[in-house]
Structure 1
């Protein structure tokens, strides 16, 4: 039993080390300094958005609109800087306010109208993708001030700025979950929404906050991505939400709510980055990569579902045992 519990706790880190060991033998360039920094930069946007998705999953929700929010932030921020001539700082703030408002709107529909999160965010994903196309007419937007590229391409010493932003966001996420009453509310709502409401937690406001944070972090990821590519493009966030979801579930955040830690999410993000980078170095085709990543998500969700069934079984056995002892 102790070995099983240890694997549940540290399994993601063991798999990450095993994966890195395999790719280091399979490709001589995998452990090079340049490649490791490339992985770090590549996963930074994923890690930033994963904090918001983790919050959403913790309360028993889901946000499939994250990828489209990243795309829209890319297009809107680029359009504001290039077409409207707005200063980059103001353009970034307006784009982040927009993505946060979109997240709040998702939370409002889900908590007030009581629509299923998967339907609301799937619909929003399609709407936002369409809006992005309408804004840019399907064409890339480029020609930003050179100072804007610092966010996505700059360094502090030898550390890329996107990595620093990711670490700060993840640290903030861990602080919220572990050191604030908001974090306790997230776990409570995800564990049992009715019980949380009866204990005095304003479930509606918690959902407003969580989906707003999801929108904000998706927006920050979009800004970093825009700065890194120096071009606003309508396909930049395509499929991004599924990579974020995979990273969170691999990191042990339950799709059923109430369970998960940011430290494990970080390991899940690194695992996705290592897997993607390693497959590219081994010249694995894009379509094969899609099959592998989809299978990883399926297996991770299946593992989570099996764990839930086992927990429910134990709870029932304890209840049955308690009832039997009281009757005796």
Structure 2
């Protein structure tokens, strides 16, 4: 028997649902077209771009952004934002590295610890947003500062080195010739896509982002659900931080500065709306690869990191403007 809550999660009119799906498809198609054009342009601009080594390098580099961007997408769907992903990823990577070096943990046990660190940060964010009702921007801004401060306190602002070679498996290892980081990204993406599109949890997530008050009146457990969203997101951030540490075989306290820009850009480019209630993992993956290809191409073309920041900022502007434009079109047709 269909419950009132389930009706609330699917309470959009058929015509609106069709228009929203078309809007999602248009965003994803636009991002995919831009990615293809960029790949073609870079293949002509640099003879090194289409080499196997460089393509695998792009895939491995994309892994961290893509995994954390899927977490950001889920948060954005609830009409939230998480600015703490960079500092939490750094904290998780450092703690994981210290667990291996100082406590003798195996890589997998240390990865579980890093995921736990991310979950703890996500729990704090979730409670601040759902129970204390602090706006997500402010709540996660505070967590970003606390997380970065804890990283510097724990490490004394010095990287964690002298790690065993096995620590590199997550970031640099391979399975049947495929980088392990890419395999992990695929597993996370499939799992998150299923969670958001095929489960009640996903329907509640979209319902909260579409209309919080209607979701509350329909019986959706807002506090518990929002807290769970941020905890799951934090776990993925912790995993991403551990992969990043594994790639350089060290825990870096400065890692992840401005990472939130890349993951927000990936989510928004892929069709996630900052107004909530809209976004898909496939679009986020396309956005993540677009950001990674932009950065990789900039390196191959010897473009300064400062110009790369300008380029990413311009991409964010364009993506948000397009999001607002399609929202206005949907509202005018509704």
Unaligned runs of 5+ in 2: 1-18
Which residue in the other structure is 1:324 paired with?
none
Alignment-derived partner of residue 105 in structure 1:
124
Pick one of 176, 183, 190 that aligns with 1:157: 176
Alignment of 1:169-248 (within 5 A): 169-248=188-267
Q: Does 1:48 align with 2:100?
A: no
1:19 to 22, 33, 38: 38
Hey, which bits of structure 1, 4+ residues long, moved more than 4 A? none
Q: What is the rounded CA distance, in whole Å, between the counterparts of 1:8 and 1:62 in structure 2?
A: 20
SS in 1 for 2:103: coil
Cα offset, 1:148, TM superposition: 2.1
In structure 2, the partner of 1:326 is none
Counterparts of 1:207 and 1:93, CA distance in 2: 23
TM-score, normalisation: structure 1: 0.92
Partner of 1:281: 300
- How many residue pairs end up in the alignment? 313
Residue 113 of structure 1 aligns to a residue in which SS?
coil
Shift of 1:9: 4.8
Cα distance in 1 for partners of 2:305, 2:245 equals 23
Which residue in the other structure is 1:125 paired with? 144
**Cα pair 2:125 2:139 within 8 Å, conserved:** yes
TM alignment of 1:28-107, pairs within 5 A: 28-107=47-126
Q: What are the superposed Cα offsets for residues 206-249 of structure 1, whole Å, 9 maximum, x if unpaired?
A: 10111001100000001111111101111111111111111000
What is the distance in 1 between the residues matched to 2:115 and 2:193? 21
1:33-84 deviations in Å (ceiling 9; x for gaps): 1111110011011111111101000000000000001110111112222233
Give 1:260-271 correspondences, 5 Å limit. Answer: 260-271=279-290
Mark the runs of 5 or more structure 1 residues left unpaired by the alignment.
316-328
Cα RMSD (Å): 1.5
Distance 1:126 1:9, change over 3 A: closer
Q: In structure 2, what is the equivalent of residue 318 of structure 1?
A: none
1:320 equivalent in structure 2: none
After superposition, give the CA deviation of every residue in 1:12-44 in whole Å (9 maximum; x if it has no partner).
111111111111111121111111111001101
Separation in structure 2 between the aligned mates of residue 25 and residue 85 of structure 1, nearest angstrom:
48
Is the CA contact 2:28–2:286 (under 8 Å) kept in the aligned structure 1? no
**Contact 2:269 2:319 (8 Å CA) reproduced:** yes
